[in-house]
C-alpha cells in the first residue's frame, strides 16, 4: 500500500496485491474508475466475470443497469467514481462458466485498506453502497441495506451516505414482475441520490 493515497499509485500497487487468495484465480485486480474529484462514489461488491476479463469495474450486465439508473437520476457516469469492496473476482466453475460467489468476511477485510485508500483519495460528498457486502465492508457486519436504503445516513465517511441494492441482484430476480419491482426500487434510490447531489 503506497503511503500517499493517490489513485494512479494505488492502481499500480494493487496489481501486486496478495492480501488474500483470490488473486490466484483472477485475471486482473480490478481497481476503481473515475475522477479523484468525483462528488459521488459508488461501491459494489466484487468484480464479475466481464469486469475480471476487462480489468474495469461495472462493465458487464450489472454495469449497464447501473448506467441506466444513473442516467435516469441525471447523474453523469463520467462524474462518479465506481469501485468494489473486493478487488478480485471470486467465482466457482460450472462447466466453462465462472459464476460469481459472495466474498467471505476475511476477503472483505483483506481488501478494506484499498477501499479506505480510495475513499481517502476521492473524498466524495456522496457515498453510495451497492448491496450488503459494500455496506458491511464500510458500516460493519450489522449493516442492513433494506433497513436504510434510499435515506441519507450520517457515517462520517462522506457528507451523505446511502445504501441500496446491488444492480446484479435486480438482474437475478426470479421473474419479470419481481425484477421490475426491484428495478423500480433501485432507480428510485438513485433518483434520491441525484436530488441530494443537485443540492450540493
**Does the pLDDT at position 78 exceed 90?**
no
Write out pLDDT tens, residues 25-75: 999 999 999 999 999 999 999 999 999 999 999 999 999 999 999 999 999
> What is the pTM assigned to this prediction?
0.95
Reported as a pLDDT band with limits 50, 70 and 90, residue 116 is very high
Task: State how far the Cα of 30 lies from the Cα of 23, in Å rounded to an integer.
Answer: 10
Q: For the domain covering 7-199, report its CATH number.
A: 3.40.470.10
Looking at 104-175, list the stretches that DSSP marks H as alpha helix, in order from N- to C-terminal side: 105-122, 132-139, 145-148, 167-171
> Hey, where are the domains in the chain?
7-199
Write out pLDDT tens, residues 133-165: 999 999 998 898 988 898 999 999 999 999 999
> What DSSP designation does 172 have?
T
Amino acid at each position: 500500500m503506497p503511503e500517499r493515497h493517490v489513485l494512479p499509485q494505488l492502481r499500480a500497487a494493487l496489481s501486486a496485491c496478495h492480501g488474500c487468495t483470490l488473486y490466484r484465480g483472477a485475471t486482473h485486480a480490478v481497481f476503481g474508475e473515475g475522477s479523484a474529484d468525483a462528488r459521488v462514489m459508488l461501491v459494489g461488491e466484487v468484480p464479475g466475470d466481464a469486469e475480471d476479463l476487462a480489468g474495469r469495474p461495472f462493465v458487464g450486465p450489472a454495469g449497464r443497469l447501473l448506467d441506466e439508473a444513473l442516467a435516469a437520476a441525471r447523474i453523469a457516469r463520467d462524474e462518479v467514481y465506481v469501485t468494489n469492496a473486493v478487488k478480485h473476482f471470486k467465482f466457482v466453475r460450472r462447466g466453462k462458466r465462472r459464476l460469481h460467489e459472495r466474498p467471505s468476511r476475511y476477503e472483505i477485510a483483506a481488501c478494506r485498506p484499498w477501499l479506505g485508500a480510495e475513499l481517502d483519495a476521492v473524498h466524495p460528498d456522496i457515498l453510495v453502497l451497492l448491496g450488503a457486502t459494500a455496506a458491511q465492508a464500510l458500516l460493519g457486519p450489522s449493516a442492513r441495506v433494506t433497513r436504510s436504503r434510499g435515506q441519507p445516513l450520517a457515517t462520517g465517511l462522506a457528507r451523505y451516505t446511502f445504501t441500496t441494492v446491488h444492480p446484479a441482484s435486480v438482474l437475478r430476480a426470479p421473474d419479470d414482475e419481481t425484477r421490475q419491482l426491484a428495478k423500480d426500487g433501485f432507480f428510485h434510490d438513485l433518483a434520491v441520490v441525484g436530488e441530494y447531489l443537485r443540492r450540493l
